[in-house]
Amino acid sequence: MLDVYLPIIFAIFLIAFTLYIIRIIKGPSVVDMALAVDCLAFDLAVFIGLLTLYFRTPFLIIGAIALALWAYILDIYIAKYFVRKEVGE
Amino acid sequence: MFEIVEWIVFIIGLILVTIGAICDLAGALGLLRFPNFFVRLHAATVGTIGGAVIPLFGVALIAAVSSQIGPFRWAVAGGAIITAILIMIIAPAGSHALAYAAHKAKIVPVEPKVCDLLEEYEKKKMEAKKK
């Protein structure tokens, strides 16, 4: 059942990825791009979880945690730069 | 008896994944079509909480009852739950930090504005510093 149902979900997720990438390329300001990259990274974490179910290998889920934390670090660095005009340590 | 419970958990997981996919598509459309950064934050919240946290809980439920993954299925379920809780904590924090930075550095105009208490507060603070 998963073999039939999950490709439909993959198709919906790929359409959403395309819309996010259009916003990243078009984005009028830097914060718009950062927000779109944020959403894209979180959805990629979900995509990794679904791929784990589809390929039946348990080792793919490890990458999802690091991906979520990476998007958060990107947000915090961009916000810090715009507030103080420096990145800090 | 136990098989019926497994089927129910499996169907609940599939429903959660479907809800997540639909929310994700709605969030992506909103992020593309909304006019302003501060309006787009709403669509981003739909795309992260509805489109990332809920399907990860669904993935955890599906992985907990699917026997094809083997003895590692509890590792998959635990990793999915940890990722879901992390995203539930860090996505609002990141969005709030971005909104505060965009308001403070004045890179985007605050367009549909009724009243802006943060701007008034900062203006008052600057005048107090001048005196």
Closest chain B residue by Cα to residue A9: B21
Alpha helices by DSSP H, chain B: 2-33, 37-45, 54-65, 73-105, 117-130
Range of the domain at A65: 2-84
Closest chain A residue by Cα to residue B56: A46
Whether A56 is in a domain gets the answer yes
Q: Tell me: pLDDT of A88 over 70.
A: no
DSSP secondary structure string, A32-49? Answer: HHHHHHHHHHHHHHHHHH
Q: Which of B127, B51, B43, B86 is nearest to A12 (CA)?
A: B51
In whole angstroms, give the CA distance from residue B38 to residue B102: 9
Question: Is A25 an 8 Å CB contact of chain B?
Answer: no
Question: Is A21 an 8 Å CB contact of chain B?
Answer: no
Whether A16 is in a domain gets the answer yes
Beta-carbon contacts of B33 under 8 Å, excluding residues fewer than 6 positions away, are: none
Closest chain A residue by Cα to residue B98: A79
- As for how many domains chain A has, the answer is 1
pLDDT (tens digit, 9 = 90+) per residue, A25-79?
987 888 999 999 999 999 999 999 999 889 888 888 888 889 889 989 999 999 9
pLDDT (tens digit, 9 = 90+) per residue, B67-124?
777 788 889 999 999 999 999 999 999 999 999 998 888 888 887 788 888 888 888 9
Amino acid at B5: V
**Which residues of chain B neighbour A75 with C-beta distances below 8 Å?**
93-95, 97-98
Contact A50 B55 (CB under 8 A): yes
